[in-house]
Amino acid sequence: MTPSHENYYVPEQSGWPILTTMGLALVGMGAPVLLAGGTPDFFALGLMILAFIFFGWFRRVVIESQKGLYSAQMDVSFRLGMIWFIFSEVMFFAAFFGALFYVRTFAVPWLGGAGSNAMTGQLLWPDFIAAWPLLDTPATGFDRPSEIVDPFHLPLLNTILLVSSSITLTFAHHCLKQAKRWQASAWLAFTVALGIAFLWVQGIEYVEAYTHSGLTLRSGIYGSTFFILTGFHGIHVTLGTIILLVMLIRLLRGHFNSEHHFGFEAAAWYWHFVDVVWLGLFFFVYVF
Amino acid sequence: MTAAVSAHHAPVRGIRRWLYTTNHKDIGTMYLVFSLAMFFIGGSMALVIRSELFEPGLQMVEPEFFNQMTTMHGLIMVFGAVMPAFVGLANWMIPLMIGAPDMALPRLNNFSFWVLPFAFTMMLSTLLMDGGGPNFGWTFYAPLSTTYAPPSVTYFIFSIHMAGISSILGAINIIVTIMNMRAPGMTYMKMPLFVWTWLITAFLLVAVMPVLAGTVTMMLTDIHFGTSFFSAGGGGDPLLFQHLFWFFGHPEVYIMILPAFGIISQIVPTFSRKPLFGYASMVYATASIALLSFTVWAHHMFLVGLPLAAELFFMYATMLISVPTGVKVFNWVATMFKGSISFETPMLFSIAFIVLFTIGGFSGLMLAIAPADFQYHDTYFVVAHFHYVLVPGAIFSIFAAVYYWLPKWTGHMYSELLGKCHFWCSFIGVNLTFFPMHFVGLAGMPRRVPDYSLQFADFNMISSIGAALFGLSQLIFLVTVVRCVLVGRAAPDSPWEGAQGLEWTVASPAPYHTFSKPPLVE
């Protein structure tokens, strides 16, 4: 290890974190107000503050980076930070995948009387037949879907779109490493376009699910797991697309060179993570 | 670069110092002060509970309010007092112990702290809302926390989200600092054990806090968007909630004890004037406990009707944890063996930790036995068990750490007389409060009830008297710390004779910026 950290950049006092806290607090307080049927003002103001901060705080970091304040050791901090952040995201999705596997493996069969739970089935809902995808819920009062989403229609298209986007992103990275800025920009722009196309197709899928198939959040556990998994994934694709778009702008402005482009790499890591989550979704939510 | 460096020789004055700070010492101090405030708030709630339980019958508070008190006491103590105290200690001590100029991501560090006061203000404010605050226990089992919850539950969910964001980002910062900021020559196996235990704790935090976030998100959609995760009528399962919660919750209890192990492993060698016995085995034991903690969650659920194979698996996996924990206890005892021991306040708290935590460990072993747990489940025996590992466990280790490092933080010595007074009052109070709970629990008194059968009256009265003693003795702690800061006599750089480590090589009080040039380790 080189004794380099006398150059480690310890930033001066900063107003960004406390402002972020206030934005987050407004969101955290505004969301329950909004959900209780109250005013959306706090929630919206909080979101606006957070958006402003994402711009301002990260801009500040970009400026510091451009000034050459960050040593190689700082670069490692950013890398490690991003890796562990992605790990935390993996665990966030793990909760929802865990819920999906649990209801499919245990909860739904048990409600149907499987294992040693014959009396559960008999006493609670004797007419209930365990199945997956679960269209007929044990109790009434849920939206019954007329059909499930066909995995080999829109979801397959989306799989192709997203896997391709990971490949085009890798092409962009290789071009960047060879200092071919314009090719890199073109590939990155193409990646962003694929991301937007993915979101568009998912929008169509959601509208079809709600209007045509009657598959909603209120469709019992099938609809619940379907929408929470694909929904949170969609939010992550949206964020990823915005991040890649910012990286495209930075690339066009010449912020990156063939050696130093960790902002780009971090965005790429995030995008590949989102892609891998999608593969899990495609197989376990749609196909099987 | 030069402008930036010259700008931070000394802290700015006034409130802006604390709002805008990027300094690990400032942030550590804020964490500790926040934690102390939460400790007193959560402690007051405990005193409300113990007042009601002083005698059988309902006399002090309404049962509904009693439920809110047990719930909020647990939430405040776990998320507001114990966890932030350890993060505060990590902030103060890890850069000093590994020879780093600051935490790796200082602005993020500021953010991690300042989220907490907002989160807990919101959580506490639910007590004043229509329908009252959370009343479903700190474990917030569905459907109590979904279908039957008061309207304020949404605020509770978002405050948990905020506290979770704070914990995750704080933990990432700690991991990055330890992995990337060690002084040259400080290999992993030369790190002080407090640093090691925190590295592993931070890993646990990053692994399980997102699961908690996912769980409360499912609660939110169940309550407001009509999903059925925790409702059997829609094909979901209330038990799913318990599995998810305890997948978070069991590692969470190790999050609250591993840093304590680290603290004890710093203090016992100092006052025994001997190196720690079995350093490497301590590291491996900590890692083993952390890994095992992911495989034992359902021992909290032995009574819900798990398949037999699951009961057996979780029983044996749980009992396995006592092996690495035993390694630690034996190592501490072996460190003291033939040492030249002196009994300053940090050492007293540490020895009490070793003895009383072990009692909590043994009652945990009893609870781990599935068929026996059928009798103990949800009785006061469980309350006795987890308070023995949390109060004379986690909290005593925090007291020990505060007394141990106060001279470094403030540059002043605390009053040894007051410190010992605090220790003995706390020690007697804690045992008076929690030891009788073993007996009433084994005799069948259920937890979380405001009233009880007459045969439990005597032991409950003893518990309540003990709680009052313990609560009041914390005022001694407050006085000791304030006196130390204001009028304590000056402390040398290394006030403890047997103390080792980089933190004792810097001045007392530690200058605002330390190790701008990294020290060379060996």
Both A215 and A275 in a single domain? yes
* Residues A160 and A78 placed together within one structural domain of the fold: yes
Asked, for residue A2, whether it belongs to a domain, the answer is no
Chain B residues 74-103 with CB within 8 Å of chain A = 100-102
Per-residue pLDDT tens listing for chain A (288 residues): 344 555 788 888 899 999 999 999 999 999 999 999 999 999 999 999 999 998 999 999 999 998 888 889 999 999 999 999 999 999 999 999 999 999 999 999 999 998 888 888 889 999 999 999 999 999 999 999 999 999 999 999 999 999 999 999 999 999 999 999 999 999 999 999 999 999 999 999 999 999 999 999 999 999 999 999 999 999 999 999 999 999 999 999 999 999 899 999 999 999 999 999 999 999 999 998
Residue A3 lies in a domain: no
So what's the pLDDT on residue A4? 52
Task: Answer yes or no: are the C-beta atoms of B23 and B106 closer than 8 Å.
Answer: yes
Cis amide leading into B509 (omega within 30): yes
Quick check: A49 and A26 in contact, CB under 8 A? yes
In 3D space, the residue among B1, B127, B7, B3 whose CA is nearest the CA of residue B512 turns out to be: B7
Structural domain includes residue B160: yes
Q: Which domain holds residue A25?
A: 13-69
Question: How large a percentage of chain B has pLDDT more than 70?
Answer: 98
Distance, in Å, from the CA atom of B207 to the CA atom of B175, rounded to the nearest integer, reads 12
Tell me the DSSP string of B104-172: SSHHHHHHHHHHHHHHHHHHHHGGGSTT-S--STTTT-TTTTTTT--TTHHHHHHHHHHHHHHHHHHHH
Whole-Å CA distances, A219 to A137, A145, A204, B252, B478: 8, 7, 19, 33, 55
Tell me whether residue B422 is in a domain: yes
Residues 184-203 of B with CB under 8 A from A: 184-185
Looking at the structure, tell me whether residues A121 and A244 fall in a common domain.
yes
Name the residue among B20, B22, B210 with its Cβ closest to that of A95: B210
Q: B176 and chain A: CB distance < 8 Å anywhere?
A: yes
In this predicted structure, what is the pLDDT of residue B7?
44
What is the CATH classification number for the domain harbouring A49? 1.10.287.70
Q: Which of residues 108-137 of A touch B (CB under 8 A)?
A: 108, 110-111, 115-116, 124, 134, 137
Predicted pLDDT of residue B208: 97
Q: Which residues of A touch B221 (CB under 8 A)?
A: 217, 224, 228
ipTM of this complex prediction, to 2 decimal places: 0.95
Amino acid, res. A208: E
Convert A249-276 to b/e letters by CB count within 10 Å (16 or more is b). ebbeeebbeeeebbbbbbbbbbbbbbbe
Q: Quick one: tokens of B470?
A: 């313990």
The nearest CA of chain B is from the CA of A190 a distance in Å of 32
pLDDT single digits (tens) B152-183: 999 999 999 999 999 999 999 999 999 999 99
Query: Residue A29: its chain B contacts at CB < 8 A?
Result: 122, 155, 158
Chain A residues whose beta carbon lies within 8 Å of the beta carbon of residue B218: 95-96, 99, 224, 228
Helix (H) or strand (E) run with residue A165 in it: helix A154-177
CATH at residue A110: 1.20.120.80
How confident is the model over B67-93, as pLDDT tens digits?
999 999 999 999 999 999 999 999 999
Cβ-based contacts under 8 A for chains A and B: 238
Are A60 and A183 in a shared domain? no
Report yes or no on B18 lying in a domain. no
Q: Rounded to the nearest 5 degrees, what angle is found at the Cα of B146, between the Cα atoms of B233 and A88?
A: 105
Q: Are residues A83 and A135 in the same domain?
A: yes
Residues of B serving a catalytic function are 73, 102, 138, 166-167, 250, 252, 254, 265, 299-300, 325, 328, 447
Residues B471-496 have pLDDT tens digits of: 999 999 999 999 999 999 999 999 99
| A5 in any annotated domain | no
d(CA A71, CA A4): 8
Q: Which residues pair with A40 in a beta bridge?
A: none
Each residue of B24-66: pLDDT tens digit? 999 999 999 999 999 999 999 999 999 999 999 999 999 999 9
φ/ψ of residue B446, rounded to 5? -75, 150
- Those of residues 208-247 in A touching chain B at CB distance below 8 A are 216-218, 220-225, 227-228
* Residue A181 shares a structural domain with residue A40: no
pLDDT digits (tens, 9 = 90+) for B441-474: 999 999 999 999 999 999 999 999 999 999 999 9
Cα separation, B467 vs B443, whole angstroms = 21
Number of domains in chain B: 1
Q: Using CB atoms, which residue from A14, A31, A94 is nearest to B22?
A: A14
Q: Give this prediction's pTM.
A: 0.95
- Identify which of A12, A18, A99 has the shortest CB distance to residue B218: A99
Does residue A146 belong to the interface with chain B, where contact is any CB pair within 8 Å?
Answer: no
Question: Is A92 within 8 Å of chain B by CB?
Answer: yes
Using CA atoms of A87, A91, A94, A98 in order, give the dihedral in degrees to the nearest 10. Answer: 150
| A107 in the same domain as A182 | yes
Closest chain B residue by Cα to residue A60: B107
How many separate helices (H) and strands (E) can be counted in chain B?
18, 0
Question: Is A77 within 8 Å of B180 when comparing Cβ atoms?
Answer: yes
Say if residues B450 and B494 touch (Cβ distance below 8 Å).
Answer: no
pLDDT value, residue A5: 55
Are residues A62 and A75 located together in one domain of the fold? no
Q: Which CATH number fits the domain that encloses residue B272?
A: 1.20.210.10
Is residue B124 in a domain? yes
Same domain, A149 and A220: yes
Average pLDDT in chain B:
95
CA distances from B282 to B194, B276, B279 (A): 11, 9, 5
Nearest to A142 among B104, B232, B234 (CB): B234
Range of the domain at B163: 26-505
Q: Which two tokens stand for residue B104?
A: 């790796």
Question: What pLDDT score was predicted for residue B423?
Answer: 98
Annotate B40-100 with DSSP letters as a single string: HHHHHHHHHHHHHTTSSS--SS-HHHHHHHHHHHHHIIIIIIIHHHHHHHHHHHHHHHHT-
Indicate whether A56 and A167 sit together in one domain.
no
Q: Residue B245 — very low, low, confident or very high, per pLDDT cuts 50/70/90?
A: very high
Percent helix, strand and coil across chain B, each to the nearest 5? 75, 0, 25
C-alpha–C-alpha distance, residues B349 and B420, integer Å = 9
Looking at the structure of chain A, the number of domains it has is 2
Residue B298, token pair as written in the block:
């359902």
Selected residues 9-38 of chain A with any CB under 8 Å from a CB in chain B: 9-18, 20-22, 24-25, 27-29, 31-32, 35-36
Q: What is the pLDDT of residue A6?
A: 57
Whether A180 is in a domain gets the answer yes
- B163 located within any domain: yes
CB-based contact (8 Å) between A80 and chain B? yes
Q: Assess contact for B41 and B117: CB atoms under 8 A.
A: no
Q: Which residues, in sequence order, are bridge partners of residue B379?
A: B446
Return d(Cα B454, Cα B268) in angstroms, integer: 44
Whether the per-residue pLDDT at B6 is higher than 60: the answer is no
Q: How far apart are CA B339 and CA B522, in angstroms?
A: 25
Q: How far is A151 from chain B (nearest CA, A)?
A: 22
Same domain? A43 vs A145: no
**CA Rg, chain B, in Å?**
23
What are φ and ψ of residue B385, in 5° steps? Answer: -55, -55
* B181 interfacial to chain A (CB closer than 8 Å): yes
Q: Is the pLDDT of residue B3 over 50?
A: no
- pLDDT higher than 50, residue B1: no
A93 found inside a domain? yes
A contacts of B234 (beta carbons < 8 Å): 137-139, 142, 220-221, 224
Same domain, A208 and A173: yes
pLDDT score at B18 = 94
